[in-house]
Structure 1
Amino acid sequence: MPGKKKLLVPAGILSFIILYALSCGNEPKQAIRKPVDYIKPIPGPSDSVPLTTAQKGEVLIGYSDCHSCHKEDKRSVGPAFKDIAKRYPVNDAYIDYLSKKIIRGGSGGWGAAVMTPHPELSLENAKTMVRYILSMRK
């Protein structure tokens, strides 16, 4: 039995050396990910947003919890405000749709992120906030 132990140790070391030698120079290749354009603009006519309405919306957003998930020009938990503005035309139909989405919450439009509902927000204030966001459209 003592002879077997002496054979196992060198065999283990030899196996390690062989595996190590075979793995040298074989660095794992990282998958190259192409950036995904998650902004698919919706075609349609856009109205202008009066400056005073946009300013009021900016103030309402400043006093809300919007900035905990959204930034003005880069994606955070949710989409950037400027990306939202790039996607949706500025018209009453989309202002109404987005306002109700803010109040009810939801997910799926921008990936897996979930927007919490804001039932305490009035529809009129939500529309003013949306008008501010959509005023960033270029």
Structure 2
Amino acid sequence: MLQVGRLKKLHFLYNCGLLLIVTYLVACNNSEVKTIQPKTDYIHEIPGKNDTIPVAIAQKGEVLIAYSDCYTCHKEEKRSVGPAFKDIAKRYPVQRVYIDMLAQKVISGGKGAWGSATMIDHPKVPIEEAKLMVSYILSLK
């Protein structure tokens, strides 16, 4: 009789130990492993001096953007489908060469400069209007 009581205690301790081990293993396997991703430079700022943009030019560009479909994919402050206007302004120096290049990109569209998003082409936008729009964007520095 004494032996049976002792066996029940050993069986109970064995089950408790087994339960603790299983609980520990389950808890360890479910813990989240967080990996720290290195911060990538989304903007890839191009060094260079900034020319001035006359206020009247920037205002005309702002009006043209307001009447266009630009805000469908871009926001001023936050990244959306495409980059934020302020991020574009951070990347490119205010120089005639970048205004011309970006105006051409507005007209012909593009892909890859800001990730996987594709900017649709706007072939009906005259080059001078595209330059005004880009000038406004770059004025947001």
**TM-score above 0.5, yes or no:** yes
Amino acid at match of 2:28: G
Residue matched to 1:10: none
Structure 1 alignment gaps of length 5 or more: 1-16
Kindly tell me the number of residue pairs found equivalent between the two proteins. 121
Q: TM-score, normalised by structure 2?
A: 0.78
Q: What's the CA shift string for 1:56-100, capped at 9, x where partnerless?
A: 100100011111111111111111111111111111111000000
The structural deviation recorded for 1:105 is: 0.3
The structural deviation recorded for 1:111 is: 1.0
Structure with greater Cα Rg: 2
CA distance in 1: counterparts of 2:76 and 2:128, whole angstroms: 22
CA distance in 2: counterparts of 1:100 and 1:131, whole angstroms: 13
| 1:85 correspondence with 2:89 | yes
Residue matched to 1:9: none
- Of residues 66, 70, 77, the one that matches 1:66 is 70
Residue matched to 1:115: 119
| 1:95 correspondence with 2:99 | yes
Calculate percent identity across the aligned residue pairs. Answer: 57
CA distance in 1: counterparts of 2:34 and 2:66, whole angstroms: 41
Cα root mean square deviation, aligned: 1.9
| 1:24 correspondence with 2:55 | no
Q: TM-score, normalised by structure 1?
A: 0.80
CA distance in 1: counterparts of 2:121 and 2:59, whole angstroms: 23
